[in-house]
Each structure stands twice: as structure tokens, then as C-alpha cells.
A and B are shown apart, each in its own frame.
Chain A
Amino acid sequence: MLPKHLQEKIDGYAKKYKISDKNVIEITKRVEEANEYGIIAPGEAIGIVTAECFGERATQMTLNTFHFSGVAEMNITVGLPRLIEIFDARKNPSTPQMEIPLRPKFSKNIDMVRIVAMKIKETLLGEIIQEITINIAKSNIMVILDKKKLKDLDLKPKFVFDKIVAGLKTCDVKEVDGGILIKPKDKEINLSEVYKLKEKAKSIHIGGLKGITYVLPVKNDEGIYIVHCVGSNLKDALELEEADTENIRTNNIFETSTVLGIEAARAAILQESLHVIRGQGIDLNIRHIMLLADVMTRTGIVKGVTRTGISGEKESVIARASFETPIKHIINATLIGERDPLNSVIENVVINQPVPLGTGLPKLVAKKEAMESGKPKK
């Protein structure tokens, strides 16, 4: 029997090219044969084949960063470092990045798009000031706002002042002539701490999506404006009314998992690793990645292929101990009296028994006692 989608495909072609019934039967027979041949045989070591396929392709990866239309801020980690990042399930990618397509209503022309883009980008205090100076004698900091930049971003000085007050709880913030004076409550503060305070003040969040440090609106082939962002904030991006929220893409798998759930995270792992591999012009069967994505997400949370992730959760004590930190695993196994059923590869290699794969898989089913007595035992 053929899977439904293949049968439908054959029927579709038969109709389209007017193939005779006799030929359709022959084609179906051959497709069935090919399909059957493609099915993995019992005892095939799919995990290791997947690992070797990835490993061999990884040696061919050369490009490690990708620059987006010549903008230095928009370089994206690709290639092997990115693959490692995905499969280790790092909480934060080294170059977080998000693509926000805009609804046509809000992107009629480039000026509208630019306004939306500026709204998405995170604004920090350091970007809208004219000057920030330390008074060494009085141990205080003077901030003078840039009026022109405030106007460009449609911000009121009072709004900025409130943000500073909220951002620096350990300081007295006063509005003085021509600027804002920040004075630490602690009188006994030394110079380097004042300097740290100045750096902290510069990074106070004023507006936009937190974590988005750079935006670049690009029009795609279908005429839709997409805002490419450096930094990722899926939760806030989903609340933007200007965004086509169904098609937002982020390269932060962990964020996808927390905001959209585990199935979305599985799809994201698939999409991201496929993107890396295809981007290098390398052909790798999607089923390998699917297997890996399934294994990484099957428990309901994203787990990396690391000693704290799926490799540390193997059933066998010996297999775990032979991977990393053996003493820890043996001690824990001893405490609970763990039983090793010896049904995987490594533990059988350790004790030198055939691994239950390939030629080591087939077993004689008949019972020895039954053979001796001549009749089956109950």
C-alpha cells in the first residue's frame, strides 16, 4: 500500500498526462517498490547515521558569519558555530535576530515603514543625550538631553525624566536648569562606582522593543516590507499592531519555546538548522534533522545534545558514565540501586557483547527448555 499523498500524486499525473490505466498500474507498482526500498530496515543505527551525516557535512562548512547588505551590525552567525548553538540548545543565540513583516495597511510608503521601524528599535538614554558628565568633586552626574533627537523620536523630556527615575532607584534624580542631575543616595561612593553608574544611566531603556539594537526595513520580492532586527523579542513583537504577527520569525529557539510552545520550538530547530545547512549549499536529508529535533523536544522542553541535556539522560548507567563525569553517575546509580538492561551500543561495547543492532539484533525465539522436552512449556 502506498501512502495517501503518493497515491494522490500518481493520480494527479495520470490525469494531467493522460496515462493509460495499464501504465498507471505499472507506475504504482514501481513507486511501491521504491517506497518500500526507502523504508529503514529494522536494526539500522539511525542515530549514528544521523550523527555521521551531520559530522561529514560540518567539515565542509567554511563560512562562519554572514553580513546583511553591508551593514556591519547585521552580521549573523551561520555555519558550524550556529549549528553547535542550535544543538546545544543555548538560551541565547550569539547573534539574535528577528524578521517582522509589516501589514500592508501600515507600510504604504517608505516613510511610514521608517516610523514603524524606529518604533520597534529600542531607544536607550545614551542615544538621546547631548552630553553626560561626571562632577568628580561632588560625585554626581549631569545629563543634558538632545532636543533634536527627542523630536525625531517623538519623545517628551518629562517622559524621559520619569524613565530615569524608574531606572535608577539608588539615586536622587532632579531636574535642574538645562538638564537632569543624578546624585547617588550613598554619600561614601568612590570614583569608579560613579563611573559605573554613568554607564548604567546610559543604558536605561526609554522606548521600543527591549533588546532590539538595530533595525533594517527591506522590501521583499512580493512587495511586503520586512523589518530585519538585530536582537530578538518575540513576546513584545507579537503585540505590535503594525506587524503581520503570524509570519514573525526569530532565531531564538528558546524564546519560541516559551512564547509559542514546544511544537513551535521543534519547527524552529528544523527551520534554523535547515537554513544553516542549505545556506552553505550542502545537501542533507531532512529526516536526519527531524530525528534530532524530535529527540531534543520530546520531553516538552528544549534539551540540548549535552551532558546536562539528552546525553545525560540515557537509560544505561555505563553509557552515561562513559560519556562525562563518570564518578557522579556511578555514585548516583549506587544510591538508588540502578539496573542497567544493557540494550544500547556503548554499554555492550564496554562489556564486549554484540550491540543489539544490525547483525547483532536477530535472536532465536524458541526456548531451550521447550526444545529439550519436545513440547512447549506454559
Chain B
Amino acid sequence: MTDVFLNENFIGTVDNAKEFIKQIRSERRKGVLNYELNFYWDEDYNEVYLDITRGRTRRPLIVVENGKSKLTDNYIEEAKNGTLKWDKLVKEGVIEYIDAAEEENCYVALDEKDLTKEHTHLEISPVVILGLCTSLIPYSNFGSSSRLIRGSKIQKQSLGLYASNYLLRMDTDVNVLHYPQKPITKTFMHDIYGWEKHPSGQNVVIALMSFEGYNMEDALIVSKASVDRGFARSTYFKPFNAEELRYQGGLVDEVCIPDKEVKGYRSEKDYRLLEEDGVVYTGAKVKGDDVVIGRVSPPRFLGEFEEFNIATNVKRESSIALSHKDNGIVDMSLITESEEGNRLVQMRLRQQRIPEVGDKFASRHGQKGVISYLVPLADMPFTVSGIVPDVLFNPHGIPSRMTISHLIEIIAGKVGSLTGKYIDGTSFDVMPEKELRKMLKELGFRESGLETMYNGISGQQFKAKIYIGDMYYLKLKYMVAGKLHSRATGKIQLLTRQPIEGRSQGGGLRIGEMEKDCFVAHGASLLLKERFDSDKTNVFVCENCGMLGIYDNFKHNEYCTKCGANVKISVVEMSYAFKLLLDELKSLGVYPKLELGRKY
């Protein structure tokens, strides 16, 4: 007697669960039952679960019957001819989709030659153990799983040739790496994926050593000479666009150089780069506040006409300008039509990004870090054969993270660059480490990968032998140029009089809840007050009723609207935010009475 559940609801019992399962399985394969149905027999609890709800993750497997794969040679022949359809395989019960619960009842063979009578399914390919991004990591079977996850995430952030028609595109926030390379140590996935058509990364000579303490905590030391020769340079593209919108009453925007009569006219200097059609010329060097597309709009309200008593067209300036801190070169501009059929002017800004201190880099093994120092070539350490590394990586990053794959890639890259061949680093397969070391020895190097190196500053030989080789490095999209920010004073919010937020608008850096706690814990309460008084204000408080009083600037006297002028009114310094709170309470009908005491 076995309980049966459909979609988690009890529907009845069956006497022989094994037979029951066998029957519905064969009916599903025949197509009598929907192929989306999955079932699971829990022998311990003696319960059968049928499930056809949505939201279950399912994966395809080849059906095995009596130790034989149902994907016969006929199908394979058909597939080679290109006539086979996936749907056919599913319909004919060759492939079935299994969900997480049904997997518990399955016995899946990884390879066709491992098949026995007990097996129920066969993996379509052993490759599916790893996803696309993880398959791109060479020697990943030598790394720890958490680092592989990080490694696959990092590859998505790397700069490369994201699309070969990038010059014709208007993408937001994209980067293109100059001189991207194919990795020396590659995997099968690089070939399948067509990596050489859009690579993202460069091969570098890397040495595992510290240097004057600059590469503490995952920091990276890069040779200035490598950077000067073009290592990890990239271009950043940013589009700007202006549409000629249509308004009620047949009014329309106009892209042009704004007339001086226009309301909100900037200075003549700001429009200097515009050509007659109101669009900046290609190749112009633009910076700070420069207008790139000039535009005028009709007045926002018709009432605005009367304001100046000029009945003719007083138009509003609505040009597109660079933000205060931006700069770059105008890469391209074009005139087209928007989806609504309006005239649309687009402009693309280009910025060259040369690696600088603080830019983020990573290897493919989840080892990320930022540049901490660009060393002049003369100071870089060098090997006996005169090789100067491009990157110095801190060896302390290895033991705790156990990324052995990182180390093996260095040897593989070294062998590859010395022999002029690509090394296959596919996981669980091909080119064993032993073979690499043997080849390294034959090439006249130490099989351990270590080399004698010399201090570039003093010329002395290092006591330790240094692990040096080649590996594929990725420049990640997080660059200092897009993050650097500071402010002394600037824009404030209209409502609270506190500094605005956000780098793009020149906002302040927040002293948050926890930062405040730090001041308190140190007992620095006067410093805390000073740090928080960006919105301080002086208000007049009536000591009689505890409400805010008024100061008359003409008569130079103060009075309370409720109690009159014959009461004591004191000046109190408080945050504007609190004054606002008091006002809001009053608007709710709450009487917030202030009781004043002596400060000293």
C-alpha cells in the first residue's frame, strides 16, 4: 500500500508502487501522458509523488533500456545529415526531461561504455557537468569549487571585443579592449564558442613574488613598460541622444545652435564646438559642461509668454551637455528617426582608458585584484634570460584559496609560449601536468617552473627562486576613472538642505549609521556634531509657547505669531532636517513644543 500525491495533494493509494511507476513511465515515453510529468517514488516513506506544476528545473537525458542507449546509430546518422529535429527525439522517447525529484530514482551513466543493466539514463555528454563559463577555465578540476564560481562570474565582467560591429552600434556603457588575444592555455569550449572571434583578455608574463610590499592583499604590480606598450588599454563608449519631440499645438523641438534670446542660454563658449546643424563635429575634444547637441524646446506652459511680455517665440534651451567631470573625444554622430518617427540625433563619446592604479584585473581562476603600483621598467625584476614579467602576483593569495589551477596555467602558458603551440587545458582531460613539466625540462628550464631572478633596483640576485610563467589575464570593467569621487561643498537637496547623493551629480559621501557609531564609540561627540552640521540652521524659538518665531529683516525685530512681540525669543541652532520634522508634525496637527534650557 503506497500513498500517491499529485502536485503535493493526496489522491489515493496503489498496491504495487513499482509496477505503477513502470506503467506511467512507459506511458509517458509513448506520449500517452504529457512529457512534462515527473514522478518520484520515495521508498523510505513509501510515497509516490507525481508533479506537473510549473517552476521545476528539468534537464534532458538519453533514455536507457536494458543497458542499451535508445539513441541508436540511425538517429546519429540522421543528426549528421542535419535532418534530425530535437522534438522528434523527445516525442519518440529517446530523450526525456528529468526534474530534481525524479533524478533520485535514476541511475545515470556518464559515458556510453559504462552502461550496465541497472542504468536508467545516459548523460548526453560528460561535458554538461560544467556550464559554459566554467568550461572556459583551464585545469578547473584542480581548483576549488567556490573559486570556479567566482572565476566564471569574473569572465562575464572582462573587457574584450564584445561585438565585431561595435563601431556601428550605439550601446550604453561598453568597453572594447585594444589588442585582445587568444589564450595560450585554452579549453575545448574556446573552440566551440569561437573565442578567437571575440576574445577578451591578454597573455602576460607573470611572476609569483612580492615587490616592496606593494602587492599586499591581492594587489597587483604591473610593469609601466607593458602599459606603455599597450597592455590592457581599452576604449569606453558612451552615447548621448536628443530627440525632436512634438508637443500640443503643433510645437516641436529643434536641434540647432540656440539663439541668444532663448531662455536658459548658457555661455557662448559652451556652444563653440557645435556645427551649423547644432551637432558637435566628429573628433572634437570635449570636456566639462560642453554642449554636444544644441536644442531648443517650446515653452513648457503657455503662460510663460506673458512673463516677459514678449509675444514672439521665447523658447527654452534644452541642449545635451556633458556632465561636469566628464571628458572625451566625439567618436561619431548620426541623424536618424526614433520609433515614433521623430528626428533623432545621436552622438557617441569615446574615452581611452589606460591602466592606472586602482583598475581591477583577474585571472580566470577567481583571483582578482587591483593595480597598486606601476613599476618603471628599470626597477622591475628580471630573469637570467632577460625576461621581465608584466605582472607580479602575491604568492600569499594561493594557499588559503587553493587555486592550483592558477599555478598549473602558469606552467602550461610557459610551455605554450616557448614551443609556439596552444595548450589544451580542458578539465579532467588532455595534457597532464607531468607532461608539461617534462616539456619544460626539455626546453632547458627547471621543471618546477622556478627561475633565478635579479632585483631590478640593486641588481642583486634574489635568494629565492621565483615561479614565473605565462597566463591569460582579464581586465575587468571596474576602472578608477568611473569611480573616483570627492567633494567639499556642492549641491544640496531642496527639501532637507542635506547634500545630494550620487557621484554623477557631484553628491556627498554619506556618513552612515555605522560610521556615526564609530564617532560615538570614541566619545568624539563634538566632532560628530561638526560632521553632521551640513544642514545646520538658526531658528527663532518662542520661549513662551515653544513654537518657531519669526525674525523681521526690515524692522530688525523678532516676534511670535501666537504670543506677539512681548515674549522672549531665542536663537537656537539645529539641523534643518529637524526643523522640517517639526513643520511636518505641525501639518499633521501635532503640537511639538520646544522647551529651551541653558547651553552652558
Interface positions of A (Cβ within 8 A of B): 43-45, 48-49, 51-52, 133-134, 136, 191-192, 195, 330, 334, 339, 345, 349-361, 363-364, 368
Contacts and interface: CB of A to CB of B under 8 A. Distances in A.
A125 to B, nearest CB: 17
A134 B574 CA distance: 74
- Interface of chain B, main secondary structure: mixed
B353 interface: no
B128 interface: no
A359 B516 CA distance: 15
A359 B521 contact: no
A107 to B, nearest CB: 34
A374 to B, nearest CB: 18
A2 to B, nearest CB: 27
Counting chain A CB atoms within 10 Å of each CB, the highest count among B10, B518, B523, B529 belongs to: B523
Contacts of A351: 574-575, 578
Given A350-B578, A368-B600, A330 B523 contact: no
Contacts of B329: none
Given A45-B521, A361-B525, 5 more contacts: A48-B517, A191-B12, A330-B585, A339-B595, A358-B523
B590 A359 contact: no
A345 B528 CA distance: 11
Given A45-B521, A48-B517, A352 B529 contact: yes
Nearest to B590: A334
Given A368-B598, A368-B600, A359 B524 contact: yes
B600 A364 contact: yes
B526 interface: yes
Interface string B560-575: 0000000000000111
B523 A357 contact: yes
B116 interface: no
Nearest to A350: B578
B578 A355 contact: no
Contacts of A334: 590
Interface in B1-57: 1, 3, 9-13
A330 B521 CA distance: 28
Given A45-B520, A359-B525, A368-B598, A192 B10 contact: yes
Given A357-B520, A359-B524, A360-B525, A352 B9 contact: no
B12 A330 contact: no
Nearest to B5: A195
20 contacts: A44-B523, A45-B521, A45-B523, A48-B520, A52-B518, A136-B12, A330-B590, A351-B575, A352-B529, A352-B532, A352-B535, A352-B536, A352-B575, A354-B526, A354-B529, A355-B528, A356-B525, A357-B525, A359-B527, A360-B529
B379 interface: no
B590 A358 contact: no
Nearest to B595: A339
Contact of A43 (B12, B523, B529): B523
Given A51-B517, A352-B575, A133 B523 contact: no
Interface residues of B, number: 35
A195 B529 CA distance: 66
A45 B524 CA distance: 10
Contacts of B527: 359
Nearest to A46: B521
Contacts of A355: 520, 525, 528-529
A49 B581 CA distance: 30
B80 interface: no
A358 B522 contact: yes
A367 B491 CA distance: 42
Nearest to A191: B10
Contacts of A133: 1
Given A352-B575, A360-B525, A52 B517 contact: yes
B466 interface: no
A368 B600 CA distance: 8
A158 B11 CA distance: 34
Given A351-B575, A352-B578, A52 B521 contact: yes
Contacts of B573: 352
A352 B521 contact: no
Nearest to B576: A352
B236 to A, nearest CB: 35
Nearest to B528: A355
B516 A192 contact: no
A358 B524 contact: yes
B259 interface: no
A111 to B, nearest CB: 30
Report the 10 A-B pairs with minimum CB-CB distance, sorted nearest first: A358-B523, A360-B525, A352-B575, A355-B525, A351-B578, A195-B10, A48-B521, A359-B526, A364-B600, A354-B525
Nearest to B534: A352
